[in-house]
Structure 1
Amino acid sequence: MDVGARIAKGWTPRPFTSFILKLHSRCDLACGYCYMYRAADQSWRHRPRAMPRSTVAHAAARVAEHAEAHDLAEVGIVLHGGEPLLAGPDLIACAVRAVREALGPRRRARFAVQTNGMLLDEGFLRLFAELGVTVGVSLDGDAQAHDRHRRRADGRGSHARVAAALDLLRQSPYRHLYGGLLCTVDPRNDPIRVYEGLLRFDPPAIDFLLPHGNWSSPPPGRSPGDARTPYADWLIAVFDRWYAAETRPTGVRRFEEIMHLLLGGAAPAESLGLEPMSCVIVETDGAIEQSDVLKTAYPGAPGTGLNVASASFDDALLLAPIVARQIGPDALAPACRSCELRRVCGGGHYADRYRAGSGFANPSVYCPDLYKLIAHIRRRLAADVARLRRSLRPVAS
């Protein structure tokens, strides 16, 4: 890709507005579908377990530099891992305070932590309340569904421990910190039972993730040329239950984003739509990387060759792999560019398009599922719009 030619024609990159700080590169679970430790890229083995404070300082300065250069009033910071709570309260507090200090009084940072919940206790919750950090927790449903994959290294399930953490988080005085639940779909689990298992913890939001894979390393239940749609069928069952509720008990991010896109809006989702990529990762060694889900493609796939110690985030913006994720339909495969749902689907998650030999210029490995799910939601919305129109009386002139 000739980035210079695009700039000459008037294209400008979209600044990063969300920064994921990998405070710890290890985990205290051994999840069966983990893209960090079971994928093609094994760079975690050679990185520091915890981010050194010098790297924290470099990262904070680079975030502030980027915010200043692009006049960003607010940025999002996600504390991630591995399991970020393994970094300990002191390093977490250091990171939050370093970013806020670097940004100064004119710019704001919204902080969130994404945790598996194993270490989440009152001590951490008090710290997050003091620092103003919202908390997202990974939960795959009831005990049976959750413990199918989310197990300790010795094989023991983790649901009971996570449930205890969530019972603390969802009650006063910590309820205001509750960001929501992240659930990875497994079609072998009953969708309604999983949904009800999530609702038990009264989440303000739920995000359903598809297990990451690609054409060369397909996710469970998907293979090249297979027209079955197990993931769409699973998500449609949950959507119909959620959408039909008289009072919806929670937001479901994937469904809401699809609906918003179908109605002509934009959605800053990595797995849907055509909005430019706006998120970047800083690894424990300071490496600036793209989405870590790219680890499922091949060794080094997320890498940029840059490090916060010596490079700015603006330097990353001009790299061809990142430009490819900012130019919308121009980066889609021909089949996606001609698809009626391209504006909503956006080709699916970039990592899920990979095929050895042709790179990322392919439809998503989940293409049949995405098409079926989006088309189903479109039909439900269209039926409701038609009913609303019939119910409206003409206005007398």
Structure 2
Amino acid sequence: MEVTEASPANSADPICRSLLVKLAARCNIACRYCYWFRDEEVYAAPAVMTPEVEAALLDKLEGHIRRHGLSSFSVLFHGGEPLLFGKQRFRGLCAALRELEGALGCRVSLSVTTNGLPLDAEWLELLRRFRVSVGISLDGPAAIHDVNRIDFKGVGTHAAVVRAIKLLQSGGWEPGLLAVCNPSVDPEQTVRHFVEELGIKAFDVLVPDATHEDRPATIAPYYTRLFDLWYGRYAGQDVQIRYLESILRGLLGGRSGSQSIGYGAITAVTLLTDGSLEALDVLRIAGSGSTRSHINLLTHEIQDIQSDPLWREIYEASIQLAPACRACEWKTVCGGGHMASRWSASRRYDNPSVYCDDIKAILKHIWGRIAPDLYIERIEGTHD
């Protein structure tokens, strides 16, 4: 689940319409690929959001919505593992946000991304009561998931995550699943596990986080195979794979609606447990201190994040692509790739994605598959 959709590229002075709220800065498992703990500064923050920051969030959010006349606002609870915030405090925060929604006439969308391990019947009742949508992280069947998503004893967490998914399903929930691509395996194993074994029809398969300082494995064979499986078999079963659908929207001239791929302004705002407001949280992949901000909700307004140098740099980089990207035939479909994948120590974010060649191969393959199936339908009553 992503922080927010990319905004239209021509947005001037964009108003913040969503927050990624870090309820917890710690986790209950130890995923090998986690970007969050690549920045050692996360350990200096409070383990869970302080009561002072929680109060400031409610106060500043109310003022922000009133000041800008917003009709909707999105809050994504995140971590670490956000459910470590605890049931009592979660109940209080959600109740206050729902009261705010009623008082302001502004629709507040609440969602949470969790590894699922803390979920129980009481958590489900809280999520249902406060209308919180749920995204669960699961990389595929045990043989794939348990390679990277392990607990602090090195034991795989697949069985516990599946238990959480089935608990949600038994309560009438349809959780969205978030998988991270493992380029060394056949994606059919993951798709079959999700659709045929777990009965999940909406999920995403995320590109592994990497910068130009890393040496990521090629992802083109994985995603071209994934597309062929989906387009040839699963799309007809109403299965939705967000990354692929985002690409299709871009190829057909629309907005991808995603930060992972597609051209559009990145306006994401992250609230940390100590009140710090930062840019896109995954940018921590660049290392310790890479997202540090002097903007804090205890002393600033939400909209003040736009004066943060990194937030401004990311916003400008998302609409002013690197020279190589501006000359590329796929520029509006790709948009330079995910912002974190553009980082290098020498040029910062003024680069194409580290996966540039892979993305080109993926887009070329998908266009080659769908182009023969496209046609123009004349609508009666329109001019020739």
1:190 is matched with which residue? 186
Summarize deviations over 1:269-294 as a string: whole Å, max 9, x none: 11212222232110111110111211
The partner residue of 1:307 within 278, 293, 296 is 296
1:107 is matched with which residue? 106
Confirm or deny that 1:180 pairs with 2:179.
Answer: no
Aligned to 1:303, the other structure's residue is in SS state coil
CA separation of 1:299/1:207 partners in 2, compared to 1, >3 Å: closer, same or farther? Answer: same
- Structure 1 residue runs without a partner (length 5+): 1-9, 222-229
Aligned CA RMSD, in angstroms, stands at 2.2
CA contact (8 A) 1:63 1:99 kept: no
1:81 is matched with which residue? 79
Deviation at 1:330, TM superposition (A): 4.7
TM-score (norm 2): 0.90
Aligned residues: 369
1:346 is matched with which residue? 335
* In 2: Cα distance, 1:124 partner to 1:101 partner: 20
The partner residue of 1:251 within 240, 257, 271 is 240
* In 2: Cα distance, 1:72 partner to 1:319 partner: 23
Matches within 5 A, 1:98-247: 98-103=96-101, 104-171=103-170, 173-175=171-173, 178-199=174-195, 200-219=197-216, 221=217, 230-245=218-233, 247=236
* In 2: Cα distance, 1:309 partner to 1:247 partner: 50
Range with greater deviation from structure 2 (101-110 or 88-97): 101-110
What letter is aligned with 1:253?
R
Matches within 5 A, 1:25-36: 25-36=25-36
Confirm or deny that 1:64 pairs with 2:53.
Answer: no
* In 2: Cα distance, 1:50 partner to 1:140 partner: 26
1:225 is matched with which residue? none
Summarize deviations over 1:245-287 as a string: whole Å, max 9, x none: 2623421101111111111111331121222223211011111
What letter is aligned with 2:22?
K
Matches within 5 A, 1:36-47: 36-37=36-37, 39=38, 41-47=39-45
* In 2: Cα distance, 1:86 partner to 1:156 partner: 20
1:6 is matched with which residue? none
CA contact (8 A) 2:295 2:308 kept: no
CA separation of 1:324/1:189 partners in 2, compared to 1, >3 Å: closer, same or farther? Answer: same
| Identity score, percent | 33
* In 1: Cα distance, 2:278 partner to 2:250 partner: 28
Deviation at 1:329, TM superposition (A): 6.3
1:5 is matched with which residue? none
What letter is aligned with 1:78?
L
CA separation of 1:107/1:314 partners in 2, compared to 1, >3 Å: closer, same or farther? Answer: same
CA separation of 1:31/1:19 partners in 2, compared to 1, >3 Å: closer, same or farther? Answer: same
* In 1: Cα distance, 2:33 partner to 2:126 partner: 30
Aligned to 2:108, the other structure's residue is in SS state strand
* In 2: Cα distance, 1:91 partner to 1:141 partner: 32
2:345 is matched with which residue? 356
Summarize deviations over 1:184-241 as a string: whole Å, max 9, x none: 011122211111112222224111111211011333x2xxxxxxxx312101111111
CA contact (8 A) 2:58 2:97 kept: yes
CA contact (8 A) 1:15 1:317 kept: no
CA separation of 1:149/1:126 partners in 2, compared to 1, >3 Å: closer, same or farther? Answer: same
Range with greater deviation from structure 2 (48-57 or 372-381): 372-381
Deviation at 1:376, TM superposition (A): 1.5
Deviation at 1:327, TM superposition (A): 4.3
- Structure 2 residue runs without a partner (length 5+): 1-9
Matches within 5 A, 1:261-276: 261-276=250-265
* In 2: Cα distance, 1:288 partner to 1:81 partner: 14
CA contact (8 A) 1:324 1:331 kept: no
* In 1: Cα distance, 2:54 partner to 2:85 partner: 12
* In 2: Cα distance, 1:203 partner to 1:322 partner: 35
* In 2: Cα distance, 1:146 partner to 1:342 partner: 33
* In 1: Cα distance, 2:275 partner to 2:306 partner: 17
Aligned to 2:28, the other structure's residue is in SS state coil
Aligned to 1:109, the other structure's residue is in SS state strand
Aligned to 2:210, the other structure's residue is in SS state coil
TM-score (norm 1): 0.88
CA separation of 1:300/1:308 partners in 2, compared to 1, >3 Å: closer, same or farther? Answer: same
Aligned to 1:307, the other structure's residue is in SS state coil
Summarize deviations over 1:7-37 as a string: whole Å, max 9, x none: xxx9722112221111111111111111111
CA separation of 1:131/1:341 partners in 2, compared to 1, >3 Å: closer, same or farther? Answer: same
* In 1: Cα distance, 2:267 partner to 2:200 partner: 26
Aligned to 1:63, the other structure's residue is in SS state helix
Confirm or deny that 1:12 pairs with 2:12.
Answer: yes
